[in-house]
Amino acid sequence: MSRRPVRVLLVDDQALFREALATLLGVRDDVEVVGEAANGAEALDRAADRRPDVVLMDLRMPVLDGVAATRRLRVEQPDVRVIALTTFDDDEDVFAALRAGALGYLLKDVSSARLVEAILAAARDESVLQPSVAAKVVARFARLPSDDPGRRPQPLVTPLSDRELDVVRLLAQGRSNREIADVLFLAEGTVKNHVTNVLGKLGARDRTQAALRARSLGLV
């Protein structure tokens, strides 16, 4: 029995980009575009009506920008997952979107394969970040002062294996499961199992939190 396709809402103020994106995703059996919106206000209306699983959200739009729309959407429809899809990766945009509740952050020059992978991952409640964005998150965390400079992070109850360390280091670079599999010459399913184990051992709810926890422990 096949699973139903992931329902996706496209939000961007450029009609041509939305149309191209809809055409690109329209050939997929595992993704269904259920609506489009030209700004954040329209996105809220469309999401309430179409009930998407994932929203691809531009950030800089008229009427209501993507950050404000993401923040409201996470309150009004907490089951909907938002991926920021934008041209910009400056610190202000990145951290504003993540604080608002975006589960992923990708740039518009992303490959179609990675975009689809990010959509499917978001539907599974997995965070996917552009590598440059993942680096910013880890770097920002490294600059945060410790509440107690003399206190060392608690070691893991169950240490990561050598292979899990390889996985978490690539994960902290924003690599997808498929990309990690290619680098480590593993099956994608094997990588998925390793990621699940890493999240469990680090006590992390998603990939971003795992990267931050690994950074605090000096693993990456």
Answer yes or no: do 119 and 39 share one domain.
yes
**Residue 124 and residue 211 in one domain:** no
CB atoms within 10 A of CB 151: 8
pLDDT, residue 147, reads 46
Q: Looking at the structure, do residues 96 and 199 belong to the same domain, yes or no?
A: no
Q: Which domain holds residue 19?
A: 6-129
The last residue of one of the domains, among 96, 129, 162, is: 129
Is 69 in the same domain as 116?
yes
In this prediction, residue 152 carries a pLDDT of 46
Task: Report how many domains make up the chain.
Answer: 2
Contact at 8 Å (CB) between 31 and 63? no
Q: Which residues of the chain, if any, have pLDDT below 50?
A: 1, 146-153
Which pLDDT score, from 0 to 100, does residue 51 have?
Answer: 94
Distance (Å, whole) CA 122 – CA 177: 13
Of 103, 129, 155, the domain-final residue: 129
Structure token digits, residue 157: 């109850």
Alpha helices in the chain (DSSP H): 15-26, 40-50, 66-76, 91-100, 112-123, 131-143, 162-171, 177-184, 188-202, 207-216
